[in-house]
Amino acid sequence: MRIAGLGLTELLIILLVVLLIFGASRLPGVGSALGKGIRSFKTSVTGEDDKPGGEPTASEEPRP
């Protein structure tokens, strides 16, 4: 199994180092913050809004 050119051994070493740096108690918070950051970046790049049924944007409003 190779992910981005890294094998299973390399991924386990990276996970161990991250665990040693942040500790087991802070790891879920770090993952959550990373996920929110990636989601925010994706939303800003694509220009999509995650809120279904929200108010229409300028491009969706009918023109007079």
Does pLDDT of 15 surpass 70? yes
Is residue 52 one of the residues assigned to a domain?
no
**What pTM was estimated for this model as a whole?**
0.47
59 in a domain, yes or no? Answer: no
Give pLDDT, residue 61: 54
- Long-range (24+ apart) CB contacts under 8 A made by 52-56 are none
Q: pLDDT of 19-62, one tens digit each?
A: 888 888 888 888 899 899 999 999 988 877 655 555 555 555 55
Residue 1 lies in a domain: no
**Structural domain range at position 24:** 8-46
> Does 51 reside within a domain?
no
Evaluated on CA atoms 53, 56, 60, 64, the torsion sign reads positive
pLDDT at 50: 52
